[in-house]
Amino acid sequence: MDNIDCAKKEIRAVIAGSRVPEDPRHADNTLEWLLCLEPDAGDALQLAALAHDIDRAIEEIKVRRADFDDYDAFKAAHARNGVEILRSILIQCDVEGDIVDEACRLVEVHEVGGDPRSDLLKDADSISYFDVNLPLYYQREGWAETKRRSSWGYRRLSARAKKLVDKICYQDETLMQLLREVIHEGIH
């Protein structure tokens, strides 16, 4: 097994321990969306896509929403914490220094983007929220919080990613209604 495969396996093993039920599926689904948006995405981007939410998998050190007044401040702390966990996995698997640095940088900025590579990761992550997280998020958090979270996620999509999310269908009519409202309010 090469270094990158070692790192991917280790990242998946850590995320498999998350108490958030959608986390393992979301990690792989973000990687799938990344490769759909950019088939030539390199190792650093692929590792970042898999690991971007790794912070949520470790209960003892995970950043808690309740400790932050501001949702963006919470998300920034979540990203920084994830970087530390990812860096130790990549070093343990002997991944090349440049790839370690770039994967960690991408995880650190995955909530905000700002350059073509981190914008790709942000899009893949945000599309995946709608693709796999939203139904489970709704079961746990209810209408109002899911709508807030979804509107926040929709606003940060690129125009290209919005088109993909606009085509998503859920079996549950309530969720379809929620998505329609989010899209409508996101356009107007």
- Contacting positions for Fe ion (CB under 5 A): 53, 125
74 SS3 class: helix
Under 8 Å CB-to-CB from 73, ≥6 apart: which residues? none
Nearest residue (CB) to Fe ion, 7 versus 133: 133
- Give the separation between CA 117 and CA 44, rounded to whole angstroms: 10
- Give the separation between CA 79 and CA 63, rounded to whole angstroms: 9
> Least separation, in Å, of the C-beta of 137 and Fe ion?
11
- Give the separation between CA 16 and CA 178, rounded to whole angstroms: 29
> Least separation, in Å, of the C-beta of 62 and Fe ion?
13
Encoded tokens for 187: 């356009």
- Give the separation between CA 72 and CA 104, rounded to whole angstroms: 19
Nearest residue (CB) to Fe ion, 73 versus 96: 73
> Least separation, in Å, of the C-beta of 52 and Fe ion?
5
Nearest residue (CB) to Fe ion, 3 versus 25: 25
> Least separation, in Å, of the C-beta of 94 and Fe ion?
26
> Least separation, in Å, of the C-beta of 126 and Fe ion?
8
- Give the separation between CA 185 and CA 188, rounded to whole angstroms: 5
Nearest residue (CB) to Fe ion, 15 versus 95: 15
The answer to whether 41 touches 69, Cβ cutoff 8 Å, is no
Nearest residue (CB) to Fe ion, 2 versus 19: 19
